Structure 1
């Protein structure tokens, strides 16, 4: 889903476009993830400031060892086998087991697979 704004955004220091992916991720590459998800595994302690973290992209074998057949070509894993994303994070971060659970890194959408769709949708709307 893309959101169409009622009025054009006014770009300034904290309002900027995000460039579309020009290539797909590869194992060992660092990626920046951000979100306002929970900061603890229990309760409702959501971040009041955007949290950012550099994470390593994991190999397909590592991803499949954690999640098996559930991983498609439209997904990749990033993070640490010690644990991944947490509840409340959504968007490009797709899913994972539990909240930063050991052995289950975060699963993310492989945005490069959707670039043509995004550009086509923007052009036609």
Structure 2
């Protein structure tokens, strides 16, 4: 069981992810609505893994990923993107993301990404 921090500016996406992750047997230890909050919560909670939306206000997912990696080089982050954000995904992988999942999510794909990242 992994301790996971969910980052997404859409409350319904966080709820959907939390539901899937909980059903897969993981513990959601925190939620963040933007990159800035995610970085602060990562430092506070030190989860095993972060799911990170790419497009968010204040600090986007790639920016937050870079900040988290500065704090913890071994941080495990899975990026979540909508279709058509391939450029951002490439940048995220180069910045150290473990994997990315495309919305809408399936629990199988999330499970697969978690197994790969953890």
Considering the TM-score relative to the shorter chain, is it more than 0.5?
A: no
Structure of greater Rg: 1
- With normalisation by structure 1, the TM-score equals 0.24
- With normalisation by structure 2, the TM-score equals 0.25
- Could you say which structure has the higher helix fraction? 2
